[in-house]
Chains A and B, each alone.
Chain A
Amino acid sequence: MSETVWTLVRVFVPLSLVSFGGARTILADIEHQAIAHHWVTHAEFVEIFAIARAAPGPGTTMVTLIGWKAAGWLGALAASLAIYVPAGLMLLFVSVLWRRHEGSPWRRRLERAFAPISIGLILAGTVVVLNATSGGVLAYAVAAAAAAALRLRQVHPLFLLCAGSAVFAFTFLVM
């Protein structure tokens, strides 16, 4: 048990430091690690991702759930601290520098340089989630529809989450 807790910390601390924009950028690694260490199955990973996303709080609460699944309450606490604390300390440290260098060119260069990396990581994470669902083509279709609805019509995300779950539930019932 304590070894699992240690492994959780060892896995999530480095991920915390590269989680630009939150869990969605490190989704692919979270999935690979959680499956490789037998903390969750593919199906459980999808459920955890969905519940964390639909429940209040940041999507990163999925790491808390994975910790709980792996090693109970202690695992949940260890995984949460491991994913939030390193990034948080780094932010506090950098925010002091940030405010001191307002308007400086390196700030804009960093902002510009990190944008494409985040984009690539986010899109990679979505592919990992979609492949982990059992929905196949339906999962890709629902994701594409949700992305289009959000971009073109600016529908509320919560409404989209309800609609997406209804489509899946309906398909399950009729198939």
Chain B
Amino acid sequence: MTDCRGQTDLAAPREHPPRDTLVDEGHAKTDGSSEPSPAVDLRTIAHINLLIGLSSFGGGLVSWFARELTERRRWIANRDLLSGFALCQIMPGPSTVNLTLYFGFMLRGLRGAAVSWLALLVPPSLLTLGFYIAYTHAPLNGVLQAALEGVAATAAGLNIATGINAGWRNRDWRTFTVAGLVFMAVTMFHVPILWVVLIAAPLSLAVTWRDTDRPAEETVTPYE
């Protein structure tokens, strides 16, 4: 998890001790059951996701979820939020999209998940496509192209920071060996990623099997 400045830590629960009790009477169930709460209005869910999706310039989306769902609206207990983060980061898919599906589902079942998903993804996707179409129709100007390459290089750097943060938390020979093999398989031998994951997953499970004494932390900090 990360806040908008890319701090990788669990700052939110430290500042606000986890709430294991029911929060906001009559709203979300927070006792660990997956029963959706009928109290949260679908339109409100759509509205929040719309805001989160459109305000995610340059990353930092996840902190919004934390702020909106646990601090401001208190629909979800901090403990559920953290458990959700962990799942959403090891599952495939952008972690923010996963988060919105997870919480939409928790709050209002399948309909909640569908509404959150559409509200989070459709407006930014259309907007981004609009930007791209405008860019391709603009008279191609070298400076603009160079500036975009600069954005790409910087974004690659942000990804590097994400990778290093995740590696630093689990720094040992297991992490470095598996990450190194995966890196080489993709960059040097061009193995398709589906195969890399299918081969590396059992391998990584085998070498890290006994290494769960330390609490496992989230795998990837989302800047998406």
Contacts and interface: CB of A to CB of B under 8 A. Distances in A.
A80 B209 CA distance: 36
Q: Name the interface size band of chain A.
A: 35 or more
B90 A55 contact: no
Given A18-B92, A80-B125, A146-B158, A117 B200 contact: yes
B154 interface: yes
B134 to A, nearest CB: 10
Q: Name the interface size band of chain B.
A: 35 or more
A16 B212 CA distance: 28
A173 B143 contact: yes
Contacts of A96: 34
Given A28-B193, A87-B91, A147-B164, A133 B124 contact: no
B161 A146 contact: yes
Contacts of A138: 153
B224 A165 contact: no
Given A116-B175, A165-B151, A56 B54 contact: yes
Interface of B is mostly: helix
A15 B152 CA distance: 21
Nearest to B104: A92
Interface string B151-177: 111111111111111110110001111
A23 B92 CA distance: 9
A139 B160 CA distance: 13
Interface of B: 4-7, 32-34, 53-61, 83-84, 86-98, 101-102, 105, 110, 113, 117, 121, 123-125, 127-129, 131-133, 135, 142-143, 145-167, 169-170, 174-183, 185-187, 190, 192-194, 196-197, 200-201, 204-205, 208-209, 211-212, 215-220, 222-224
Interface of A: 14-26, 28-29, 32, 43, 46-61, 64-65, 68, 76, 80, 84, 86-88, 90-92, 94-96, 98-100, 102, 105, 107-130, 132-135, 138-140, 142-148, 150-151, 154-158, 160-161, 163-169, 171-173
